[in-house]
């Protein structure tokens, strides 16, 4: 994957790990190598500078959890910031079985649409969906045959009409053809005759009007590097049901530039292609992507140690707060941060016992929140002032609106968070009371954390 970039990043990290101490001077050396690696992958200069500056700022500002070396912590920061560079968020494309989803692929000729369509068909077929395709590229001779050659061996039916020159007509007839066939996923291929964004988008809109796709995927050739920005940006602005697949990351030294440029537009990247066969399609999750790039084996131990140290430190502080019987939003935030961190790690390592769970919030509402709500709540909490976190009662009226704006959410969500916090607090009070009635002294059972805390 990403020929070159992964290797040079790994070399840099290996050097970093060999350093006896990481002081400012040593860090600058590392940053210089990072810069070189990213620039040669065609990552835009401004993005590289911003990323390096973030690492620089964080490396000597953040509190390092006890028992963790600055060296390991710097590796974790580099890992974090590379993930940010690639958009951080994971946008899986989930379908509903026995319900038709129509996906249309667009992109300039040669970007990899037809190949990617076949890969998508394979990907969803393997997951038990019934897939079919419409050969909507009536421009390129042999486009229909190319699709059939890719899909017939795996038993995916293709509709096409080599005698029809109007793609909108083929699409219309194809939709009719598959109407009663109980298809879960219908993939629509297009021509991409136009090289510039404007023409491409116009062509796309004409077919979309007929096809009414649930999602339009722009296929971008990863070998064009940071030039991918213009295409992705034009597409992202005009296509609310749009997402992106970046292809050819296997052979290109510029793949990093393409992926970071697309991420910088805010567009969703769903998958990436890393080979010519029908199996070479990978889900794009920045967290896993960077972990692979940096070498999972090397990274795993470090991330795990840091997560555990952070979580232990935070849990101790939380225990204290519980014993005192007074929790604030600050504690709420701390717990959510460790849940979020654990979620990230789970995505990398698939399963990690003991991180983030079993803390004092076990069994309480925050412990049951899904990843998405954790992210939203964290954004809200991060938009609050220290005073508000310590004393949630003051959060009313205009403060709610300011926090909603600052976190890019809605006042109702801020209120929902406050409500959830109040519920948690009320539940804790009830538990304390029950404990007292049963004659259990104080909160004695908690600190050891061997059994369930409550």
Ligand X SMILES: Nc1nc2c(ncn2[C@@H]2O[C@H](COP(=O)(O)OP(=O)(O)O)[C@@H](O)[C@H]2O)c(=O)[nH]1
Identity of the residue, 146 or 265, whose beta carbon is nearer to ligand X in the bound complex: 146
Task: Kindly indicate which of the ranges 195-203, 274-282, 307-315, 383-391 contains the residues binding ligand X, using the contact rule CB under 6 A.
Answer: 274-282
Of 331, 318, 319, the C-alpha closest to 392 is 331
Is residue 167 part of the contact set for Mg ion (CB under 5 A)?
Answer: no
Out of 44, 113, 268, 288, the residue judged to bind ligand X by CB under 6 A: 113
Alpha helices in 41-188 (DSSP H): 45-59, 70-85, 113-126, 143-151, 167-178
Q: Which does 87 bind (CB under 5 to 8 A by kind): ligand X, Mg ion, none?
A: none
Q: Which two tokens stand for residue 152?
A: 């017939």
- Span 83-122, contacts to Mg ion by CB under 5 A: 113-114
Burial class of residue 270, CB neighbours in 10 A (0-12, 13-18, 19+): buried
Give the CA distances from residue 205 to residues 100, 104, 192, 212, 216, in Å, rounded to whole numbers and listed in that order.
21, 11, 12, 10, 10
Is residue 65 part of the contact set for ligand X (CB under 6 A)?
Answer: no
Task: Kindly indicate which of the ranges 9-17, 102-110, 299-307, 380-388 contains the residues binding ligand X, using the contact rule CB under 6 A.
Answer: 102-110
Identity of the residue, 204 or 318, whose beta carbon is nearer to ligand X in the bound complex: 204
Q: To the nearest whole angstrom, how small is the minimum distance from the Cβ of residue 41 to ligand X?
A: 17
Identity of the residue, 109 or 328, whose beta carbon is nearer to Mg ion in the bound complex: 109
| Rounded distance between C-alpha atoms, residue 140 and residue 122, angstroms | 23
Instruction: List CB contacts of 235: < 8 A, sequence separation 6 or more.
Output: 106, 197, 201, 218, 242, 244, 267
Q: Which long-range contacts (CB under 8 A, 24 or more apart) does 314-321 make?
A: 314/338, 314/359, 315/359, 315/360, 315/449, 318/359, 318/360, 318/361, 319/360, 319/446, 319/447
Farthest CA pair distance, the chain: 85
Identity of the residue, 112 or 360, whose beta carbon is nearer to ligand X in the bound complex: 112
190: left (phi over 0), alpha (psi -120 to 50) or beta: beta
Q: To the nearest whole angstrom, how small is the minimum distance from the Cβ of residue 227 to ligand X?
A: 16
Q: Which does 274 bind (CB under 5 to 8 A by kind): ligand X, Mg ion, none?
A: ligand X
Instruction: List CB contacts of 426: < 8 A, sequence separation 6 or more.
Output: none
What residue number has its CB nearest to ligand X? Answer: 273
Question: Helix and strand tally (H, E) in the chain?
Answer: 17, 8
Q: Which does 338 bind (CB under 5 to 8 A by kind): Mg ion, ligand X, none?
A: none
- Span 114-143, contacts to ligand X by CB under 6 A: 114-115
Is residue 192 part of the contact set for ligand X (CB under 6 A)?
Answer: yes
Out of 197, 233, 250, 367, the residue judged to bind ligand X by CB under 6 A: 250
Is residue 111 part of the contact set for ligand X (CB under 6 A)?
Answer: yes
Q: Which two tokens stand for residue 77?
A: 């920061």
Question: To which H or E segment does residue 187 belong?
Answer: strand 185-189
Out of 65, 87, 107, 242, the residue judged to bind ligand X by CB under 6 A: 107
Task: Kindly indicate which of the ranges 8-16, 48-56, 110-118, 292-300 contains the residues binding ligand X, using the contact rule CB under 6 A.
Answer: 110-118
Three-state DSSP class for residue 359: coil
Q: Which does 107 bind (CB under 5 to 8 A by kind): Mg ion, ligand X, none?
A: ligand X
Identity of the residue, 5 or 108, whose beta carbon is nearer to Mg ion in the bound complex: 108
Q: To the nearest whole angstrom, how small is the minimum distance from the Cβ of residue 89 to ligand X?
A: 22
Out of 102, 122, 248, 270, the residue judged to bind ligand X by CB under 6 A: 248
Out of 56, 88, 161, 251, the residue judged to bind ligand X by CB under 6 A: 251
Give ∠ CA 103-107-112 in degrees, rounded to 5: 90
**Size, binding site for ligand X by CB under 6 A:** 19
Is residue 282 part of the contact set for ligand X (CB under 6 A)?
Answer: no
Can you give the binding site for Mg ion, defined by CB under 5 A?
Answer: 113-114
Which positions lie near ligand X, rule CB under 6 A? 107, 109-115, 192, 219, 247-248, 250-251, 273-276, 280
């Amino acid at each position: 994957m990403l020929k070159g970039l992964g290797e040079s990043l790994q070399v840099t990290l290996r050097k970093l790990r060999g350093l006896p101490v990481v002081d400012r001077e040593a860090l600058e050396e590392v940053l210089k190598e990072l810069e070189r690696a990213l620039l040669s992958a065609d990552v835009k200069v401004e993005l590289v500078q911003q990323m390096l500056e973030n690492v620089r700022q964080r490396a000597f500002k953040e509190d390092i959890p006890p028992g963790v070396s600055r060296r390991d912590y710097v590796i974790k920061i580099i890992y974090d910031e590379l993930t940010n560079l690639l958009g951080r968020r994971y946008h899986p494309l989930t379908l509903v079985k026995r319900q038709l989803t129509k996906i249309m692929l667009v992109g300039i000729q040669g970007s990899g649409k037809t190949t990617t369509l076949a890969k998508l068909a394979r990907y969803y077929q393997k997951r038990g969906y019934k897939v079919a395709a419409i050969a909507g590229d009536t421009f390129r001779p042999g486009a229909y045959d190319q699709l059939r050659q890719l899909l017939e061996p795996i038993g995916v039916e293709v509709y096409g009409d080599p005698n029809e020159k109007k793609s909108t007509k083929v699409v219309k007839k194809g939709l009719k053809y598959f109407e009663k066939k109980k298809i879960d996923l219908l993939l629509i291929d297009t021509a991409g005759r136009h090289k510039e964004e404007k023409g491409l988008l116009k062509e796309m809109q004409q077919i979309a009007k007929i096809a009414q796709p649930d999602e339009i995927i722009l296929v971008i050739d990863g070998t064009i590097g940071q030039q991918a920005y213009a295409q992705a940006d034009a597409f992202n602005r005009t296509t609310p049901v749009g997402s992106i697949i970046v292809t050819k990351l296997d052979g290109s030294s510029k793949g990093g530039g393409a992926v970071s440029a697309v991420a910088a537009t805010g567009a969703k990247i769903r998958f990436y292609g890393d080979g010519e066969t029908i199996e070479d399609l990978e889900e794009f999750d920045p967290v896993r992507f960077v972990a692979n790039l940096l070498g999972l084996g090397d990274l795993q131990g470090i991330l795990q140690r840091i997560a555990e140290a952070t979580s232990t430190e935070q849990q101790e502080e939380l225990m204290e707060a519980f014993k005192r019987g007074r929790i604030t939003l600050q504690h709420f935030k701390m717990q959510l941060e460790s849940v979020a961190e654990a979620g990230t790690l789970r995505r990398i390592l698939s399963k990690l016992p003991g991180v983030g769970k079993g803390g004092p919030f076990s069994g309480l509402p925050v412990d049951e929140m899904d990843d998405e709500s954790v992210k939203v709540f964290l954004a809200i909490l991060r938009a609050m002032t220290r005073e508000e976190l310590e004393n949630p009662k003051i959060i009313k009226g205009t403060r709610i609106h300011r926090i909603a704006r600052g976190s890019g959410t809605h006042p109702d969500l801020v209120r929902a968070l406050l409500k959830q916090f109040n519920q948690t607090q009320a539940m804790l009070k009830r538990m304390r009371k029950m404990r007292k009635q049963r004659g259990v002294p104080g909160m004695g059972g908690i600190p050891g954390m061997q059994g369930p805390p409550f």
